[in-house]
Amino acid sequence: MSATLQIRPDLCTMLGRIHGGTLMAMADSVGAAATIINLPEGAGTTTLESKTNFLASADEGTTLTAEGEVLAVRVADDWKNPS
């Protein structure tokens, strides 16, 4: 699963660089899409925790590409019926 994002001014900090929140949203969206297409029918998903280490920034006008790959699928439904 992959996606591209053209960095616009409204996605940038005051210095014209991509905002970290935009990067996290893109990463979460690509991860979710990659996960959903690999889930069994009727199953769902949500992000409970996410951590990102930023290695570099990107300037306004740059096109970013994000790629997501599912490494494992595990369906747990024990949260549906809490004790």
| DSSP result, 8-76 | -GGGB-TTSBB-HHHHHHHHHHHHHHHHHTTSPTT----------------BTT-EEEEE---------
Report pTM.
0.78
Which CATH number fits the domain that encloses residue 67? 3.10.129.10
Number of domains present in the structure of the chain: 1
Lowest mean pLDDT among 5-9, 26-30, 75-79: 75-79
**Model confidence over 43-61: pLDDT tens digits?**
877 877 888 888 888 999 9
Q: Which structural domain range is residue 8 located in? A: 2-80
Query: Is the Cβ–Cβ distance between 60 and 16 less than 8 Å?
Result: yes
Query: Is the Cβ–Cβ distance between 60 and 9 less than 8 Å?
Result: yes
Judged against a pLDDT cut of 80, whether residue 65 lies above it is answered with: yes
Whether the CA torsion 74, 68, 14, 55 is positive or negative: it is positive
